[in-house]
Amino acid sequence: MGKIKLNVLGLSYSQTQTGAYALVLSEEGGDRRIPIIIGGVEAQSIAIQLEELEPPRPLTHDLFKSFAEAFAVNVVEVNIYRLEEGIFYSELICVKGSNRIRIDSRTSDAVAIALRFKCPIFTTDEIIEKAGIVLSIDGDAEEPFVASQQKPETLVPEKRNQFISYSLEQLTGMLDDAVRDEDYERASLIRDEIGRREESS
C-alpha cells in the first residue's frame, strides 16, 4: 500500500455550519486535496502554528510537545491510515531511543502536533482515491484562515441527512459547485455521501 505525502494547505471557514471548519490537506506533487471537518479549538491551534504565532500560554498541543521532549520522545511521522463512515483515523509515530511507538490520535490533533514537530504527514493510495477532490488550479494561492469557535469533529455524521433526497447525478453537480466555490466543508460532506452510495450499489 503506497504512502502519499500530504501538506497542510490551510483552513477554510464553514459556509453552512456555524463553528465548523475544514482542514484542507493537499497531495504533494499532485492536484488532489482532502478536506477534513474539525473543531474550532483544533483549527485555531493549527492556524496559530501555520502563522508562526506565539500564544501567551502553551496550548494543549504545545504542552504535548514540551512533555514529549522532556522525556526524549520525538514524533517523526503522522499517518492518516483509515477512512470509515466519513471519519479519518490517524496515528502518531513516535521514537524514543531504539523504540518506535504508534499512538492513536484524532486527525485534527495529529496534524496540529505534526506541525509543531515539523514531521511529515502521510496517507494511503486508497484514502486519497476515496476522499481526494481534484481542483482545477488557476494560479491563485489559498491562504489559511484563523478559526475561533468550537465544534466537535463528530458533527460530520449529523449533517448527512441533508443529502438523502438528492440523486447521484445531482450530488455530483453539487460537489462540482462546492469545489468551485472553495466550500470544502460542504464538498467533503457531499463526497462522503457519494462514496457511501457507490459502495452500497
In a domain, 184, yes or no: no
Q: Residue 12 sits in which domain range? A: 3-155
In a domain, 192, yes or no: no
Grid coordinates belonging to 35: 478536506
pLDDT tens digits for 75-118?
999 999 999 988 999 999 999 999 999 999 999 999 999 999 99
In a domain, 23, yes or no: yes
In a domain, 104, yes or no: yes
What pTM was computed for the model? 0.71
- DSSP assignment of 81-141 equals EEEETTEEEEEEEEEETTEEEEEEEEHHHHHHHHHHHT--EEEEHHHHHHH-EE----SPP
In a domain, 71, yes or no: yes
In a domain, 16, yes or no: yes
pLDDT tens digits for 134-188?
765 444 434 333 333 323 343 344 455 677 888 888 888 888 887 777 666 677 7
**Domains identified in the chain, total number:** 1
CA distance linking residue 58 with residue 165, whole number of Å:
46
